[in-house]
Protein backbone atom coordinates (compact mmCIF):
# COMPACT_ATOMS: atom_id res chain seq x y z
CA UNK A 1 0.00 0.00 0.00
CA UNK A 2 1.40 3.42 -0.90
CA UNK A 3 1.54 6.32 1.49
CA UNK A 4 -1.43 8.13 -0.10
CA UNK A 5 -3.68 5.09 0.34
CA UNK A 6 -2.39 4.60 3.85
CA UNK A 7 -3.41 8.15 4.70
CA UNK A 8 -6.79 7.43 3.14
CA UNK A 9 -7.22 4.54 5.55
CA UNK A 10 -6.29 6.79 8.41
CA UNK A 11 -8.78 9.42 7.36
CA UNK A 12 -11.48 6.75 7.11
CA UNK A 13 -10.62 5.31 10.49
CA UNK A 14 -10.56 8.59 12.37
CA UNK A 15 -12.89 11.53 12.13
CA UNK A 16 -12.38 15.11 13.12
CA UNK A 17 -12.51 13.72 16.67
CA UNK A 18 -8.96 12.47 16.60
CA UNK A 19 -6.99 13.80 13.68
CA UNK A 20 -3.79 11.81 13.16
CA UNK A 21 -0.57 13.78 13.37
CA UNK A 22 1.69 11.21 11.77
CA UNK A 23 0.74 8.38 9.50
CA UNK A 24 3.80 6.27 9.95
CA UNK A 25 6.53 5.83 12.49
CA UNK A 26 5.91 8.80 14.75
CA UNK A 27 2.75 7.42 16.36
CA UNK A 28 -0.67 8.88 16.01
CA UNK A 29 -1.39 11.10 18.98
CA UNK A 30 -4.98 11.67 20.00
CA UNK A 31 -6.55 14.55 21.87
CA UNK A 32 -8.03 14.27 25.35
CA UNK A 33 -11.33 15.89 24.51
CA UNK A 34 -11.70 17.95 27.70
CA UNK A 35 -8.32 19.70 27.30
CA UNK A 36 -6.87 19.15 23.83
CA UNK A 37 -3.71 17.62 25.35
CA UNK A 38 -2.39 14.85 23.12
CA UNK A 39 -1.61 11.29 24.13
CA UNK A 40 0.07 8.41 22.31
CA UNK A 41 -2.71 5.93 21.47
CA UNK A 42 -1.00 3.01 23.18
CA UNK A 43 -0.50 2.98 26.92
CA UNK A 44 0.60 0.22 29.26
CA UNK A 45 -1.60 -1.89 31.56
CA UNK A 46 -0.12 -3.38 34.72
CA UNK A 47 -2.66 -5.86 36.08
CA UNK A 48 -0.87 -9.17 36.88
CA UNK A 49 2.14 -8.26 34.73
CA UNK A 50 3.52 -5.76 37.29
CA UNK A 51 2.36 -7.62 40.39
CA UNK A 52 5.90 -8.75 41.26
CA UNK A 53 8.14 -8.05 44.24
CA UNK A 54 11.35 -9.95 43.46
CA UNK A 55 14.22 -7.52 42.66
CA UNK A 56 15.13 -9.21 39.36
CA UNK A 57 11.53 -9.18 38.16
CA UNK A 58 11.20 -5.53 39.15
CA UNK A 59 14.33 -4.68 37.14
CA UNK A 60 12.77 -6.45 34.16
CA UNK A 61 9.59 -4.33 34.54
CA UNK A 62 11.85 -1.27 34.63
CA UNK A 63 13.16 -2.36 31.22
CA UNK A 64 9.60 -2.66 29.94
CA UNK A 65 8.86 0.88 31.13
CA UNK A 66 12.10 2.26 29.66
CA UNK A 67 11.36 0.75 26.26
CA UNK A 68 7.72 1.89 26.46
CA UNK A 69 8.78 5.54 26.95
CA UNK A 70 11.53 5.23 24.31
CA UNK A 71 8.93 4.08 21.81
CA UNK A 72 6.72 7.09 22.52
CA UNK A 73 4.35 5.66 25.14
CA UNK A 74 2.96 7.89 27.91
CA UNK A 75 -0.02 6.50 29.80
CA UNK A 76 0.64 3.84 32.45
CA UNK A 77 -2.50 2.43 34.07
CA UNK A 78 -2.68 0.78 37.48
CA UNK A 79 -4.87 0.38 40.54
CA UNK A 80 -4.64 -0.47 44.23
CA UNK A 81 -6.47 -3.64 43.18
CA UNK A 82 -3.39 -4.89 41.31
CA UNK A 83 -1.39 -6.25 44.26
CA UNK A 84 2.20 -4.96 44.22
CA UNK A 85 1.87 -3.31 40.78
CA UNK A 86 1.83 0.29 42.01
CA UNK A 87 4.86 -0.36 44.22
CA UNK A 88 6.65 -1.96 41.24
CA UNK A 89 5.90 1.07 39.07
CA UNK A 90 7.34 3.44 41.67
CA UNK A 91 10.39 1.30 42.32
CA UNK A 92 11.13 0.52 38.66
CA UNK A 93 10.36 3.88 37.02
CA UNK A 94 13.26 4.61 34.62
CA UNK A 95 15.05 7.90 34.08
CA UNK A 96 13.39 8.49 30.69
CA UNK A 97 9.89 8.81 32.23
CA UNK A 98 9.60 12.58 31.84
CA UNK A 99 6.50 12.21 29.66
CA UNK A 100 4.77 9.71 31.99
CA UNK A 101 0.99 10.14 32.13
CA UNK A 102 0.19 8.47 35.46
CA UNK A 103 -3.24 6.87 35.74
CA UNK A 104 -4.41 5.07 38.84
CA UNK A 105 -7.73 4.38 40.52
CA UNK A 106 -9.62 4.33 43.77
CA UNK A 107 -11.14 0.97 44.71
CA UNK A 108 -12.71 0.88 48.14
CA UNK A 109 -15.85 1.91 49.99
CA UNK A 110 -16.20 5.16 51.92
CA UNK A 111 -14.76 8.66 51.55
CA UNK A 112 -12.06 8.41 54.22
CA UNK A 113 -10.88 5.00 53.00
CA UNK A 114 -10.82 6.42 49.47
CA UNK A 115 -8.72 9.43 50.41
CA UNK A 116 -6.26 7.25 52.34
CA UNK A 117 -5.99 4.82 49.46
CA UNK A 118 -5.37 7.61 46.94
CA UNK A 119 -2.60 9.07 49.09
CA UNK A 120 -1.06 5.63 49.52
CA UNK A 121 -1.11 5.09 45.73
CA UNK A 122 0.57 8.46 45.17
CA UNK A 123 3.34 7.52 47.60
CA UNK A 124 3.79 4.10 45.98
CA UNK A 125 4.07 5.60 42.49
CA UNK A 126 6.44 8.31 43.85
CA UNK A 127 4.67 11.03 41.88
CA UNK A 128 3.78 14.56 43.06
CA UNK A 129 0.27 14.19 41.71
CA UNK A 130 -1.54 11.83 39.35
CA UNK A 131 -2.48 12.89 35.85
CA UNK A 132 -5.64 10.76 35.96
CA UNK A 133 -7.61 9.12 38.76
CA UNK A 134 -10.61 6.92 38.06
CA UNK A 135 -13.20 5.13 40.18
CA UNK A 136 -12.34 1.46 39.65
CA UNK A 137 -15.29 -0.66 38.53
CA UNK A 138 -17.70 2.07 39.60
CA UNK A 139 -17.31 0.98 43.25
CA UNK A 140 -18.92 3.60 45.55
CA UNK A 141 -18.66 5.92 42.58
CA UNK A 142 -20.74 8.81 43.92
CA UNK A 143 -18.57 9.12 47.04
CA UNK A 144 -15.27 8.91 45.16
CA UNK A 145 -16.27 11.09 42.25
CA UNK A 146 -17.01 13.86 44.78
CA UNK A 147 -13.51 13.40 46.25
CA UNK A 148 -11.86 13.36 42.83
CA UNK A 149 -13.77 16.44 41.73
CA UNK A 150 -12.57 18.30 44.80
CA UNK A 151 -8.99 17.15 44.17
CA UNK A 152 -9.22 18.37 40.58
CA UNK A 153 -10.55 21.76 41.70
CA UNK A 154 -7.60 22.02 44.09
CA UNK A 155 -5.09 21.07 41.37
CA UNK A 156 -4.20 17.74 43.03
CA UNK A 157 -5.13 15.67 39.97
CA UNK A 158 -5.44 16.74 36.33
CA UNK A 159 -8.21 14.47 35.02
CA UNK A 160 -10.89 12.26 36.57
CA UNK A 161 -13.12 9.42 35.42
CA UNK A 162 -14.61 5.98 35.99
CA UNK A 163 -13.81 2.46 34.79
CA UNK A 164 -15.56 -0.78 34.09
CA UNK A 165 -14.52 -3.96 32.25
CA UNK A 166 -15.63 -7.31 30.86
CA UNK A 167 -18.82 -5.73 29.45
CA UNK A 168 -20.18 -5.12 32.95
CA UNK A 169 -22.60 -2.34 34.00
CA UNK A 170 -22.57 -0.41 30.76
CA UNK A 171 -25.96 1.04 31.68
CA UNK A 172 -24.52 2.70 34.79
CA UNK A 173 -21.35 3.75 32.96
CA UNK A 174 -23.50 5.43 30.31
CA UNK A 175 -25.63 7.19 32.93
CA UNK A 176 -22.49 8.60 34.58
CA UNK A 177 -21.08 9.63 31.21
CA UNK A 178 -24.30 11.48 30.40
CA UNK A 179 -24.94 13.07 33.79
CA UNK A 180 -21.55 13.70 35.41
CA UNK A 181 -18.64 15.87 34.36
CA UNK A 182 -15.78 13.43 33.78
CA UNK A 183 -12.72 13.61 31.52
CA UNK A 184 -12.14 9.87 30.98
CA UNK A 185 -14.00 6.59 30.88
CA UNK A 186 -12.36 3.16 30.66
CA UNK A 187 -13.97 -0.04 29.42
CA UNK A 188 -13.21 -3.33 27.66
CA UNK A 189 -13.23 -3.56 23.88
CA UNK A 190 -11.59 -6.13 21.58
CA UNK A 191 -12.42 -8.33 18.57
CA UNK A 192 -14.01 -10.89 20.86
CA UNK A 193 -15.96 -8.50 23.12
CA UNK A 194 -17.52 -5.63 21.23
CA UNK A 195 -20.36 -5.04 23.69
CA UNK A 196 -19.04 -1.56 24.56
CA UNK A 197 -19.34 -0.29 20.98
CA UNK A 198 -22.33 2.00 21.76
CA UNK A 199 -20.32 3.71 24.53
CA UNK A 200 -17.86 5.16 22.00
CA UNK A 201 -20.65 7.28 20.53
CA UNK A 202 -21.71 8.47 23.99
CA UNK A 203 -18.09 9.41 24.77
CA UNK A 204 -17.77 11.31 21.49
CA UNK A 205 -21.03 13.12 22.14
CA UNK A 206 -20.04 14.07 25.70
CA UNK A 207 -16.40 14.97 24.95
CA UNK A 208 -15.02 12.16 27.14
CA UNK A 209 -11.68 10.47 26.42
CA UNK A 210 -11.80 6.65 26.20
CA UNK A 211 -9.21 4.22 27.56
CA UNK A 212 -9.71 0.70 26.21
CA UNK A 213 -8.73 -2.06 28.63
CA UNK A 214 -8.27 -5.77 27.80
CA UNK A 215 -7.54 -5.12 24.09
CA UNK A 216 -6.36 -8.77 23.92
CA UNK A 217 -9.28 -10.00 26.06
CA UNK A 218 -6.84 -10.56 28.90
CA UNK A 219 -4.58 -12.61 26.59
CA UNK A 220 -7.48 -14.91 25.67
CA UNK A 221 -7.27 -13.84 22.02
CA UNK A 222 -3.96 -15.68 21.65
CA UNK A 223 -3.80 -19.44 21.11
CA UNK A 224 -4.77 -21.86 18.38
CA UNK A 225 -6.39 -19.14 16.26
CA UNK A 226 -3.36 -16.88 16.29
CA UNK A 227 -1.07 -19.81 15.51
CA UNK A 228 -2.65 -19.70 12.04
CA UNK A 229 -1.18 -17.38 9.39
CA UNK A 230 -2.26 -13.75 9.48
CA UNK A 231 -4.86 -13.08 6.73
CA UNK A 232 -4.15 -10.68 3.85
CA UNK A 233 -5.25 -7.58 5.75
CA UNK A 234 -2.14 -7.98 7.94
CA UNK A 235 0.14 -6.90 5.12
CA UNK A 236 -2.20 -4.07 4.12
CA UNK A 237 -2.08 -2.75 7.69
CA UNK A 238 1.68 -3.22 7.98
CA UNK A 239 1.23 -5.86 10.70
CA UNK A 240 3.27 -9.02 10.91
CA UNK A 241 1.35 -10.55 13.83
CA UNK A 242 -2.23 -10.93 15.02
CA UNK A 243 -1.39 -8.74 18.04
CA UNK A 244 -0.87 -5.75 15.74
CA UNK A 245 -4.18 -6.45 14.00
CA UNK A 246 -6.01 -6.69 17.33
CA UNK A 247 -4.62 -3.34 18.48
CA UNK A 248 -5.32 -1.61 15.17
CA UNK A 249 -8.86 -2.95 15.33
CA UNK A 250 -9.31 -1.15 18.69
CA UNK A 251 -7.50 2.02 17.60
CA UNK A 252 -9.67 2.33 14.49
CA UNK A 253 -12.54 3.39 16.74
CA UNK A 254 -12.41 7.17 16.25
CA UNK A 255 -13.38 7.87 19.86
CA UNK A 256 -10.77 5.51 21.35
CA UNK A 257 -8.12 7.75 22.91
CA UNK A 258 -5.73 5.11 24.21
CA UNK A 259 -5.60 1.31 24.47
CA UNK A 260 -3.63 -0.20 27.36
CA UNK A 261 -2.31 -3.69 26.55
CA UNK A 262 -0.35 -5.28 29.40
CA UNK A 263 2.79 -7.32 28.92
CA UNK A 264 5.71 -8.70 30.91
CA UNK A 265 7.84 -9.30 27.80
CA UNK A 266 9.99 -6.83 25.90
CA UNK A 267 9.40 -8.62 22.60
CA UNK A 268 5.64 -8.30 23.07
CA UNK A 269 5.93 -4.65 24.06
CA UNK A 270 7.88 -3.87 20.88
CA UNK A 271 5.41 -5.80 18.77
CA UNK A 272 2.48 -3.99 20.38
CA UNK A 273 3.98 -0.50 20.06
CA UNK A 274 4.49 -1.08 16.33
CA UNK A 275 0.70 -0.86 15.98
CA UNK A 276 1.02 2.92 16.41
CA UNK A 277 2.63 3.08 12.96
CA UNK A 278 1.06 2.67 9.53
CA UNK A 279 -2.56 2.54 8.40
CA UNK A 280 -5.67 1.67 10.36
CA UNK A 281 -8.55 -0.48 9.12
CA UNK A 282 -11.64 1.11 7.64
CA UNK A 283 -15.16 -0.23 8.34
CA UNK A 284 -14.95 -2.98 5.72
CA UNK A 285 -11.63 -4.21 6.96
CA UNK A 286 -12.81 -4.11 10.58
CA UNK A 287 -15.58 -6.53 9.64
CA UNK A 288 -13.03 -8.77 7.91
CA UNK A 289 -10.73 -8.79 10.94
CA UNK A 290 -13.54 -9.94 13.23
CA UNK A 291 -14.82 -12.54 10.75
CA UNK A 292 -11.34 -13.91 10.01
CA UNK A 293 -10.50 -14.14 13.69
CA UNK A 294 -13.73 -15.88 14.66
CA UNK A 295 -13.36 -18.30 11.76
CA UNK A 296 -9.62 -19.02 12.27
Ligand X SMILES: NC(=O)c1ccc[n+]([C@@H]2O[C@H](COP(=O)([O-])OP(=O)(O)OC[C@H]3O[C@@H](n4cnc5c(N)ncnc54)[C@H](OP(=O)(O)O)[C@@H]3O)[C@@H](O)[C@H]2O)c1
The contact set with ligand X (CB under 6 A) reads 45-47, 49, 77, 136-137, 163-165, 186, 213-219, 222, 243, 260-265, 268, 271-272
Q: Judged by CB, which is closer to ligand X: 16, or 136?
A: 136
Q: Judged by CB, which is closer to ligand X: 137, or 147?
A: 137
User: Minimal distance in Å, beta carbon 264 to ligand X?
Assistant: 4
CB-based contacts of 97, cutoff 8 Å, min separation 6: 65, 69
Q: Judged by CB, which is closer to ligand X: 19, or 194?
A: 194
Buried b (16+ CB within 10 A) or exposed e, 229-248: ebbebbebbbbebbbbbbbb
User: Minimal distance in Å, beta carbon 273 to ligand X?
Assistant: 10
| Cα–Cα distance, 187 to 170 (Å, whole number) | 9
User: Minimal distance in Å, beta carbon 8 to ligand X?
Assistant: 27
Q: Judged by CB, which is closer to ligand X: 6, or 260?
A: 260
Nearest residue by C-beta to ligand X?
Answer: 45
User: Minimal distance in Å, beta carbon 79 to ligand X?
Assistant: 6
**Angle at the Cα of 77 from the Cα atoms of 144 and 237, rounded to 5 degrees:** 135
| Cα–Cα distance, 110 to 52 (Å, whole number) | 28
User: Minimal distance in Å, beta carbon 274 to ligand X?
Assistant: 9
Q: Judged by CB, which is closer to ligand X: 95, or 227?
A: 227
CB-based contacts of 22, cutoff 8 Å, min separation 6: 28, 29
**C-alpha to C-alpha distances, 34 to 65, 202, 209, 210, 250, nearest whole angstrom:** 27, 14, 8, 11, 21
Amino acid sequence: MDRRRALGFLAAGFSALAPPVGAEGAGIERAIRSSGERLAPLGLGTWLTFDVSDAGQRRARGEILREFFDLGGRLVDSSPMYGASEETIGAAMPANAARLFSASKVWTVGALAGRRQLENSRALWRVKRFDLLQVHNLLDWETHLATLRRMKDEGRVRYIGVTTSHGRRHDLAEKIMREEKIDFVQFTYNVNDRSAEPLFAVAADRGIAVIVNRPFDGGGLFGAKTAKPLPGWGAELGCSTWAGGFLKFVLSQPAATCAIPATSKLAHLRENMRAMAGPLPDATMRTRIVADYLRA
